[in-house]
Structure 1
Amino acid sequence: MSRGQKTVIENVRVFKNSGITDLTTVVIDGDLIGSDASNPDQTIDGAGGVLIPGLIDSHVHVLKEAHLQKLLHHGVTTVLDMAMYPAERIPQMRSYPGMPEIKTAGVPLSKAGSVHSCVLPLPPESLHVKPEEVAEWVRKRVVEGSDYIKIIADVPGPDQKTMNAVVAEAHKHQKKVVAHAASYAPFNMALEAGVDIVTHLSLDKAVDTGMAERMLAKNVISVPTLCMMKETSKDLPMSDVAPMLLKPKTLHAIVKNKRNGHGKHTYANAEASIATLYHAGVPILAGTDCHEEGKSIFDVPHGESMHRELELLVAAGLSNVEVLEAATSLPAKYFGLEDRGVIEEGKRADLVLLKEDPTREIKASRSISRVWLGGVEVSR
């Protein structure tokens, strides 16, 4: 189907206003949701299925077109990437036609000697930033096309002064700041710095009520990435641990990081953190931390993990409707994507047709029969 055509979807229920409508008709007019169902180029029988907005994964890592294809196949039409470098990769990844739209943090801030600097091939511009160099560092990220700025908060990692400076400078450029924080001390540092979004959860000690209340008061958003939290808190088989013994620098950084924590990293702490954030009223978004399969000991594949994330959020205490909003309207709201995330006239026609009702059983999010990206049906 080419852009500019009109498609009418009849006999379909719509996820809208925190619920499911009765059977109705939805119009795709070009790349937008329309209202005039007359003279369509194509009419589709929705067969009583449920139409939801295209899913938004609020934490991904994409390196090639195949990653975007997998995400789209699973109904993810917008991705919020959390690290992309070198800078030339940003326009390259955005150039693939008919693929999910990418927002990205570009080059993240870390520090030499941190766990991430030992485990990942982070570029030099991530690792050697002094507080007095922050203004220029942030400016470069903005010029390169970063939609928001990311700090990898860790111990060891960027100090409080540097983190504070990054947040202040990013806000001068009207850019939100996302902080990676997977343990208690970095989580606190991120909140102290005034970040806008915290991705991951504290695994060594659950987020407490005081922290949750600070987040609510300062409008800080949570992207818990439960798929990754479950993976990183599991006991690794010796076959995965053995290669680390051959990398003493990496092993030392991991051991040091563990010793700086408050206890054993457990998924129970992540679940307890979710409960505290949820009951405090902190907005929670669905993000997976999906990454290159086959090159990681953690199993968080592109696309499929989004549905797993929804299931884990429900298991952690959110309702099915709240979880669907966490993957559609809420990331659109908090990341400033005003043209999508809901099925309303004038919004982008990013749509997923499901055979079953996910408000009754969240696993129904997997029952995908059709996907539209900007009004164009995706070949599945």
Structure 2
Amino acid sequence: MNERKTGDPVVIRVARIFDGARILDADTVVVRDGLIAEIGRNLAPPHGSEVVEASDATLLPGLVDAHTHTLAVADLEQALAFGVTTELDMFCGPDQLRALRKAAESRADVADIRSAGIGATMPDGHITQLVEMGVYAPFPTLSTPGEAPGFVAARVAEGSDYLKILVEGGRPLGWSQLPSLDDETLKALVDSAHSHDLPAVAHISTQADAQRCLTAGVDGLVHAFVDTAPDRRFVDKAAAAGIFVVPTLTVFEMLYGPGRREGDCVDHPRVRPYLSPGLRATVQAGGRANLPSDLPAWASAEHAHRATRALHEAGVPILAGTDVLYPPSVHGLSLHAELAALVDAGLTPAEALTAATLAPAQAFRLTDRGRITTGMRADLLLVEGDPTRRIAATTEIIGVWRAGHRFDRDRYRTTLDT
């Protein structure tokens, strides 16, 4: 952890500043008391401030991973090492969530976290498989509309920041047919979430289930669909409904091919030192750890790519999220791979950066972050080069700040097995 006090001003001088949407006409950011205090050109450093100068670098908001499965505090530390200052967890038991939140509130060397808590699914429905696999403790489920208000109220009491609803029959993901929530229960869950002012997001893998979720009034989809090419009518309805989509392209590339992108960069000199040798080997080996192998021929990552492109062109906000859970996916690093996948799916590099900064902050009501503007939290990522032109530059990390604290990447590196 950085030993400088939060109140010590920090002045960051760079070639360019990306504010979450565009390049600013400025080259200097002043951080004070954990917040962005000033932005301008050639600003004089306050007395006693630390000055960071990077002549060919870009300063951007700390990244937000809009779909994670965060199991341990070490996941949050690893995320921060790669510039992810906030993780949006999509399933977490209450005891687990309390431990993660306690760490995020008391430590400056881990990413912040928001969470859905326990997701809504049927008895024996999707994600209950992970109880048998030992990932999650047993958790409550529901099967009727009448249970929805009580289910949602319990999540609110546990501190959930949004409601995740699992609408999944299983076959596209290689599972046997699984029971899934019916339309009435789906709608009751969405209505109950909204009555508590919680956003409602849905896991789907088919276009038909995505349409059902639109009809029910969800705020966002936390996957693209993989069963068919996008239908124009669905795309138009999604745009009209004002939903957002977190495509999680890299997890589908792992499932259906061509494979994980993380393996292409683990030997990069600015990546390799921040992965343990064991994790590097796992990522390089690729594979589909703890996932079923009986995948249907009609499901493909290409469908997800095409859906992402069509939705983006229609004006649907696209958010960057990884669905990180097991290696070879990696907290933090996998978001950089997802940014590259989004560019391949039709976003410009600048639009991909927005998908990991401003867009998730807006979609999940994180009003204090996701932008570089005065008064915002100083969650910042400093990288070599210009990621608005070459998205791979996001891995060229020079520095990471969370609420004004500079993350000590050198110390973190020494904690890894070497």
Q: CA deviation at 1:180?
A: 0.4
Q: CA deviation at 1:38?
A: 2.4
Residues 132 and 374 of structure 1: is their aligned pair in 2 closer, same or farther, counting only changes over 3 Å?
A: same
Q: Which residue of 1 aligns with 2:89?
A: 81
Q: Which residue of 2 aligns with 1:33?
A: 36
Q: Which residue of 1 aligns with 2:355?
A: 326
CA contact (8 A) 2:59 2:380 kept: yes
Q: Which amino acid aligns with 1:221?
A: F
Q: Which amino acid aligns with 2:312?
A: Y
Q: Which residue of 1 aligns with 2:100?
A: 93
Q: Which residue of 1 aligns with 2:194?
A: 171
Q: CA deviation at 1:17?
A: 6.8
Q: In the aligned structure 1, how far is the partner of 2:288 from the partner of 2:46?
A: 62
Q: Which amino acid aligns with 2:10?
A: T
**Does residue 1:304 correspond to 2:307, yes or no?**
no
Q: CA deviation at 1:182?
A: 1.2
User: Please, what TM-score do these two structures have when normalized by structure 2?
Assistant: 0.81
Query: Which of residues 362, 371, 374 is equivalent to 1:342?
Result: 371
Q: Which residue of 1 aligns with 2:54?
A: 46
Residues 54 and 107 of structure 1: is their aligned pair in 2 closer, same or farther, counting only changes over 3 Å?
A: same
Q: CA deviation at 1:178?
A: 0.9
CA RMSD of aligned residues (A): 2.4
CA contact (8 A) 1:104 1:147 kept: yes
**Does residue 1:13 correspond to 2:16, yes or no?**
yes
Q: Which residue of 2 aligns with 1:281?
A: 315
Residues 113 and 331 of structure 1: is their aligned pair in 2 closer, same or farther, counting only changes over 3 Å?
A: same
Q: Which residue of 1 aligns with 2:226?
A: 203
User: 5+ residue gaps in structure 1?
Assistant: 245-249, 294-298
Q: Which residue of 2 aligns with 1:378?
A: 407
Q: In the aligned structure 2, how far is the partner of 1:54 from the partner of 1:241?
A: 29
CA contact (8 A) 1:203 1:233 kept: no
Residues 266 and 324 of structure 1: is their aligned pair in 2 closer, same or farther, counting only changes over 3 Å?
A: same
Q: Which amino acid aligns with 2:215?
A: E
Q: In the aligned structure 2, how far is the partner of 1:340 from the partner of 1:170?
A: 24
Cα deviations by residue, 1:184-218 (Å, 9 ceiling, x for unpaired): 23222211211111011111112311111111111
User: Please, what TM-score do these two structures have when normalized by structure 1?
Assistant: 0.88
Q: Which amino acid aligns with 2:225?
A: S
Cα deviations by residue, 1:232-286 (Å, 9 ceiling, x for unpaired): 22399xxx89999xxxxx89xx78xx6xxxx611111111111211121111000
CA contact (8 A) 1:209 1:280 kept: no
Cα deviations by residue, 1:5-25 (Å, 9 ceiling, x for unpaired): 101112442113743346622
**Does residue 1:140 correspond to 2:140, yes or no?**
no
Q: Which residue of 2 aligns with 1:112?
A: 123
Q: Which residue of 2 aligns with 1:153?
A: 167
Q: In the aligned structure 1, how far is the partner of 2:64 from the partner of 2:14?
A: 25
Structure 1 residue matching 2:55: 3-state secondary structure? coil
CA contact (8 A) 1:63 1:292 kept: no
Q: CA deviation at 1:227?
A: 1.0
CA contact (8 A) 1:198 1:220 kept: yes
Q: In the aligned structure 2, how far is the partner of 1:214 from the partner of 1:184?
A: 12
User: How many pairs were matched up?
Assistant: 359
CA contact (8 A) 1:23 1:48 kept: no
Q: CA deviation at 1:292?
A: 3.3
Q: Which amino acid aligns with 1:103?
A: R
CA contact (8 A) 1:117 1:127 kept: no
**Does residue 1:4 correspond to 2:13, yes or no?**
no
**Does residue 1:268 correspond to 2:282, yes or no?**
no
Q: CA deviation at 1:290?
A: 0.7
Q: CA deviation at 1:117?
A: 2.5
Residues 120 and 356 of structure 1: is their aligned pair in 2 closer, same or farther, counting only changes over 3 Å?
A: farther
Residues 114 and 133 of structure 1: is their aligned pair in 2 closer, same or farther, counting only changes over 3 Å?
A: closer
Residues 120 and 234 of structure 1: is their aligned pair in 2 closer, same or farther, counting only changes over 3 Å?
A: farther
Q: Which amino acid aligns with 1:285?
A: L
Residues 136 and 46 of structure 1: is their aligned pair in 2 closer, same or farther, counting only changes over 3 Å?
A: same
Q: Which amino acid aligns with 2:408?
A: S
**Does residue 1:61 correspond to 2:69, yes or no?**
yes
User: 5+ residue gaps in structure 2?
Assistant: 39-43, 170-178, 260-286, 410-418
CA contact (8 A) 2:14 2:58 kept: no
Q: CA deviation at 1:300?
A: 1.9
